[in-house]
A and B are shown apart, each in its own frame.
Chain A
């Protein structure tokens, strides 16, 4: 079980959180013309890197804030966590 540092609450066990996928995905702007390919890339296609991965987590059983986690997908090492409007330090 991972130990994740919520930027609002501090370190908590994984079972308080839910995973929210790749944090680098940007939703296309509303009303914007967009090709099917670009839209599919946004909706379906994700990289599956081995190693460092920026991802979203949601503190569902806590403060209910979404935030960013930089995690190694192979070792589960967590390098840093930060609020949505912040950048990772490492």
Chain B
């Protein structure tokens, strides 16, 4: 037989002048512009595309669009490789490479097919039954085996090179699906002035109008679709999107749509995104998503060449492709006869098998008039053909339709089956719509809506064209009128289509005599009728349980072709009606979405915004190694020559102790606080007293949460009577502002205070070390820098070169230190100025590591100690807690657990060997020879190399810490498998009296 399965009839949708070469499993084929990978393969006679999930059975195409359960392929290779792509959704593009998945060594000969022979060992729930014991086998034997056996495609190991974008849209009416009802509603809504978005998954608008022989007005359905699209295109209030799938319906009418922007373009320009994710907040959503044809379960109904009748028709009428040349049409309803007629038009005589006793439908009569005989009251019992169907066993049904009376073998190269139609209710269901069962069409349709969502046309169970159009025009007008009030309805044109007789309620054929072939319901998860029977026999009653036990409908296709057949079968065995069995819930996404599209542009450095201080460029020029502090990039240390981090940090820290260092502290949070009640507010927010802070003075403050845990600390200074400048830690800056706003707006709205973040308005430069006073005196000759002129915790305004500067005498390093604040834009200038003047004082910049070293050996607490689990008394901040006034969190501090005498408190640790650095996070224990579980006394919060004493030093928070000073304990790190004998010392390791900062 020839490998050319093209029809001779032009559909206008395939461009035979543009040949496209592609590769499938290493073989080069060609197709045409307009083809999908599926249609091009079928046109080349290729039906075997993959192996099934569990039994590795040969599988071909079942469908023609999103409903396809079988034809998943791996696309491209290298970093563009993409697994589990549905071949029916891939447009052919020059050079496309695709290969089968879940098979080894090849799709024709797959070792895994042994599972098919052994299928009695793989019944429903086999994972639960088989791999339960021994427990130790799970990780090493069972799991790797299951992973290998249950393989689908392979995820690429390289970063995705493609670009994905996000877009936010708003519209009055979003119409999902461009079949007759969708087009009608979009047209009516747009003509009534509403802002409309019309989304179509396929590359062509029109839905069923592209394949159905109907007339609308004086045009064919296809012409009417194209005419309507050109009308819509010309309207400025309409956005038309094809290749766009609305896959999710979330709260408050937020829908998400994936647009395939450049997958079908041969050489897209560099910055064209591959896909675009649209977040559409729609006023109203019209769900015109149509319906999906149902398969029929019969023996070996999964062989390559067995397709849905509607898919066979679409392959002919859109893609000019024949699924076979010796077709059998197998149906329980009239619609499949249109597929038969299309074959006849292509000079192919189909064999027609109809489960019904008769039908007087127009299409049935038309087929009969062409001289084709129909095998009524018959069904397909079994099929043959290993890699492709070659014959079918057709049986005559008995009157109960529970068994076959006689069987005959008929040669064929394809079976086009139709079990009727399932409305695509996924989006309505996602939106919270409570579905109801419609007995006429034997399917669920949307009923009670929870959001602004309206299903129309086939998605609403309206299967006739007249009904679909009428609903479309009416609903489009009604909904748009909510937004426009233009009151401009569009009338529905007359339409003509064949009349249909009712389908038969039969979706599962009896077994052939003497045999038990598998009759599949869910092709993608390999769930057969026998699995559902087993689940029910084993006592699973709820449909949700049957679903999970058999995995029916749980595959990537979300049971688009299997859910209802599964339900129908359960209801048949259980002798219940379908609505009593109920249905499982549909969840987004309706179709698989690439992770790349969900992530969008938020990859690499775009994952989060980067904040840089105005001095950043200087740090870069001076060899700084940066560290992320929240969103900020801060210099960690400035290595010189071949210095490693430890030596650089020790040098920088030692220079602060000996000479003078300069550190960029711009990242500290800064909040401007103004108002007559500002002192009272601070008095409530901080644990210490604020009412009597003099103007021109700063004070250290600690704030708690209501549960008594330390929330943040920092210095706040009084600039004038009612004006304060608060600083926060870098990490908590945003949270502190929200906290202050909460108390001002929600708890104490009577306080007359305003707060405003000024973090980005100020650049802060710490100048620390014994020589800092001399350096600053030189820089600010007008300011009296003496201990009397600018005492510890004082502040003064001055200027350099006409630039206003505010100088605080505050210290984080424990040395004599100042902080120079200038307007952000002058930060770099002043920094350079200080560096320049500082040369004669041996100034060096220091980064966050040296900053930590300095504060740790001084015993200043920071984020590692203020970790949300410590109260002020735990971390040595007792003197900060006022006994005289109330403040946020104070009541918690008197709770029993918080006043226990042996609470964990802050101490210092020095290793006995004075050499071994104690890893942060180490546990502190008393006896390292004890048998586990060993009582844990606490943990190491911060560690450094003390530059003052030239040995390691750590801060720890340990049980009854104050009474442990002088004792020897162990710091153990099970992760690093080390145990370090340590001596407990005061956390104030250097200058415990704090004389240096006041010198």
Q: Which residues of B contact A64 (CB under 8 A)?
A: 737, 741
**Binary interface encoding of chain B residues 777-808 relative to chain A, with 1 for a CB under 8 A from any of its CBs, else 0:** 00000000000000000000000000000000
A36 contacts the other chain (Cβ, under 8 Å)?
A: yes
Taken together as a complex, chains A and B put the C-alpha atoms of A35 and B886 apart, in Å, by: 15
B707 CB contacts on chain A under 8 angstroms: 43-44
- Taking a contact as CB atoms closer than 8 A, the residue among A3, A27, A36, A66 that contacts B281 in the complex is A3
Give chain B residues whose Cβ lies under 8 Å from the Cβ of A78: 252
Residue of A nearest to B450 (CB): A75
Q: Is the CB of B891 within 8 A of A28?
A: yes
Contact between B746 and A1, CB atoms less than 8 A apart: no
Q: How far is the CB of A32 from chain B (nearest CB, A)?
A: 8
Pairs A-B, 3 closest by C-beta atoms: A3-B252, A30-B886, A66-B745
Partner of B738, one of A31, A60, A76: A60
Once the chains bind, are A31 and B886 in contact (CB under 8 Å)? yes
Given A30-B886, A75-B450, 18 additional A-B pairs, CB 8 A: A1-B254, A2-B252, A3-B281, A13-B281, A20-B742, A27-B706, A31-B885, A34-B891, A36-B896, A39-B891, A39-B892, A42-B706, A44-B707, A58-B738, A65-B741, A77-B450, A84-B745, A84-B746
Task: List the A side residues contacting B356 at CB < 8 Å.
Answer: none
The one of A13, A36, A58, A76 that contacts B742, using a Cβ cutoff of 8 Å = A58
Is there an interface contact between A85 and B684, defined as CB atoms closer than 8 Å?
no
Restricting to B839-892, which residues have a CB under 8 Å from any CB of A? Answer: 885-887, 891-892
Which of B251, B738, B747 is within 8 Å of A27, CB to CB? B747
**Per DSSP, are chain A's interface residues mostly helix, strand or loop, or mixed?**
loop
- B677 CB to closest chain A CB (Å) equals 13
A6 — which chain B residues lie within 8 A by C-beta?
none
| Contact present for A36 and B895 (CB under 8 Å) | yes
**A3 x B254 contact (CB < 8 A):** yes
Selected contact of A1 from candidates B250, B741, B885, B886, CB within 8 Å: B250
> For the complex, what is the distance from the CA of A76 to the CA of B885, rounded to whole Å?
42
A41 smallest CB distance to B (angstroms): 12
Distance, CA A78 to CA B706, complexed state (A): 29
Which residue of A has the minimal Cβ distance to B708?
Answer: A43
Chain B 732-769 interface residues, beta-carbon cutoff 8 Å to A: 734, 737-738, 741-742, 745-747, 749
Provide the bound-state CA to CA distance between A77 and B251, in Å.
8
The smallest beta-carbon distance between B732 and chain A, in angstroms, is 14
Q: Give complex CA distance A18, B749 in Å.
A: 20
Q: Which single residue of chain A is at the shortest CB-CB distance from B281?
A: A3
Task: Give per-residue flags for B248-278: 1 if the beta carbon is below 8 A from chain A beta carbons, else 0.
Answer: 0011111000000000000000000000000
A56 CA to B887 CA, complexed, in Å:
22
Which residues of B686-709 are within 8 A (CB) of A? 706-707
Query: Would A1 and B891 be within 8 Å (CB), given that A66-B742, A84-B745, A84-B746 are in contact?
Result: no
For the complex, what is the distance from the CA of A76 to the CA of B253, rounded to whole Å? 11
Contacts of A56 in B (CB 8 A): 746
State in angstroms the CA–CA spacing of A65 and B749 once bound together: 12
- Identify the closest chain A residue to B896 (Cβ): A36
* Total count of chain B residues near the partner, CB < 8 A: 28
Closest to B252 in A: A3
Q: Inside 8 A of A31's CB, which chain B residues have their CB?
A: 885-886
Residue of B nearest to A78 (CB): B252
6 contacts between A and B (CB under 8 A): A1-B250, A1-B254, A2-B251, A76-B251, A76-B252, A84-B745
Assess the A1–B892 pair: CB atoms within 8 A.
no
Residues in chain B near residue A13, CB distance under 8 A: 254, 281
Cβ of B432 under 8 Å from chain A? yes
A58 CB contacts on chain B under 8 angstroms:
738, 741-742
A-B contact count (CB 8 A): 60
Which residues in B have their C-beta under 8 angstroms from that of A30? Answer: 684, 886-887
For A60, list chain B residues within 8 Å (CB): 734, 738
For A42, the chain B residues whose CB sits under 8 A away are 706
Interface size in chain A (residues, C-beta < 8 A)? 28
B278 to chain A, nearest CB (A): 13
Is B279 engaged at the interface, CB distance under 8 Å to the other chain? yes
- Within the complex, the shortest CB–CB distance from A20 to chain B, in Å, comes to 7
**A34 neighbours in B (Cβ, 8 Å):** 891
Min CB gap B195→A, angstroms: 16
Interface mask (A18-62 → B, CB under 8 Å = 1, otherwise 0): 101000000110110010100100111000000000001010100
B887, closest chain A residue (CB): A30
The distance in angstroms between the C-alpha atoms of A78 and B253, with both chains bound, is 12
Q: Which residue of B lies closest to A40 (CB)?
A: B895
Q: Please indicate the chain B residues that have their CB under 8 angstroms from the CB of A28 in the complex.
A: 891
Within residues 887 to 927 of chain B, which ones have a CB less than 8 A from any CB in chain A? 887, 891-892, 895-896
CB-based contact A1/B279 at 8 Å:
yes
Closest A residue, CB atoms, query B684? A30
Q: Which residue among B684, B706, B742, B745 has the maximum number of chain A CB atoms within 10 Å of its CB?
A: B745
**Shortest Cβ distance from A78 into chain B, in angstroms?**
8
* Interchain CA distance A71-B432 in the complex, whole Å: 16
A42 to chain B minimum Cβ distance, whole angstroms, is 7
Cα distance A58–B681 in the bound complex, in angstroms: 20
CB pair B741 A66 closer than 8 Å: yes
Distance of A2 Cα from B450 Cα, bound (Å): 14
For B895, list chain A residues within 8 Å (CB).
36, 39
How far is B685's CA from A30's CA once the two chains are assembled, in angstroms? 11
Chain B residue at minimal CB-CB distance from A3: B252
Q: Give bound CA distance, A39 to B894, whole Å.
A: 11
CB distance from A75 to the nearest CB of B (A): 6
CA separation between A36 and B899, bound complex, in Å?
A: 13
> In chain B, residues 551-595, which have Cβ atoms closer than 8 Å to a Cβ of chain A?
none
Least CB distance from B316 to A in Å reads: 43
The answer to whether A43 touches B706 (Cβ under 8 A) is: yes
Which residues of B in the span 179-195 have a Cβ within 8 Å of any Cβ on A? Answer: none
Query: Which A residues are in CB contact (< 8 Å) with B742?
Result: 20, 58, 66
Alpha-carbon distance between A2 and B885 when the two chains are bound, in angstroms? 42
Give Cα A76 to B432, complex, Å. 11
Known: A39-B892, A64-B741. A1 touches B252 (CB 8 A): yes
For the complex, what is the distance from the CA of A87 to the CA of B802, rounded to whole Å? Answer: 53
Is there an interface contact between A85 and B749, defined as CB atoms closer than 8 Å? Answer: yes
Residues of chain B lying within 8 A (CB to CB) of residue A65 = 741, 745
Closest chain B residue to A35, Cβ basis: B891
Contact residues in A for B887 (Cβ distance below 8 Å): 30
A66 to B886, CA, bound (A): 24
Decide: B747 and A1 in contact? CB cutoff 8 A.
Answer: no
What CA separation (Å) do A77 and B451 show in the bound complex?
9
A-contact bits for B494-527, CB 8 A (1 contact / 0 none):
0000000000000000000000000000000000
Partner of B892, one of A3, A27, A43: A43
A60 to B254, alpha carbons, bound, how many Å? 21
Q: How far is the CB of A15 from the nearest CB of chain B, in Å?
A: 10
Query: Once the chains are docked, how many angstroms separate the CA of A30 from the CA of B738?
Result: 20
Q: Which single residue of chain B is at the shortest CB-CB distance from A42? A: B706
Q: How far is the CB of B430 from chain A (nearest CB, A)?
A: 13
In the complex, what residues of B have CB within 8 A of residue A85's CB?
749
Question: Separation in Å of the A73 CB from the closest CB of chain B?
Answer: 12
Bound-state CA distance A56–B892 (Å) is: 23
Nearest Cβ in chain B — how far from A30, in angstroms?
4
Expressed in whole angstroms, the Cα–Cα distance for A18 and B411 within the complex equals 66
Q: Contacts of B885 on A, CB cut-off 8 Å?
A: 31
The complex places the Cα of A31 from the Cα of B891 at a distance, in Å, of 9
Closest to B168 in A: A13
Given the complex of chains A and B, what is the CA–CA distance between A76 and B745 in angstroms? 25
Contacts of B892 in A (CB 8 A): 39, 43
Q: How long is the Cα–Cα vector from A20 to B743 in the complex, in angstroms? A: 12
Closest to B741 in A: A64
- Provide the bound-state CA to CA distance between A39 and B250, in Å: 39
Give the distance to chain B from A86, nearest Cβ to Cβ, in Å.
12
Cβ contact of B251, chosen from A1, A18, A20, cutoff 8 A: A1
| Contact residues in B for A20 (Cβ distance below 8 Å) | 742, 746
Q: How far is the CA of A78 from the CA of B885 in the complex (A)?
A: 41
Q: Which residues of B contact A84 (CB under 8 A)?
A: 745-746, 749
- Which residues of chain B in 226-255 are interfacial with respect to chain A, using CB atoms and an 8 Å cutoff? 250-254
- Is the Cβ of B250 less than 8 Å from the Cβ of A75? no
What mask results when residues 273 to 315 of chain B are scored 1 for a CB within 8 Å of chain A, else 0?
A: 0000001010000000000000000000000000000000000
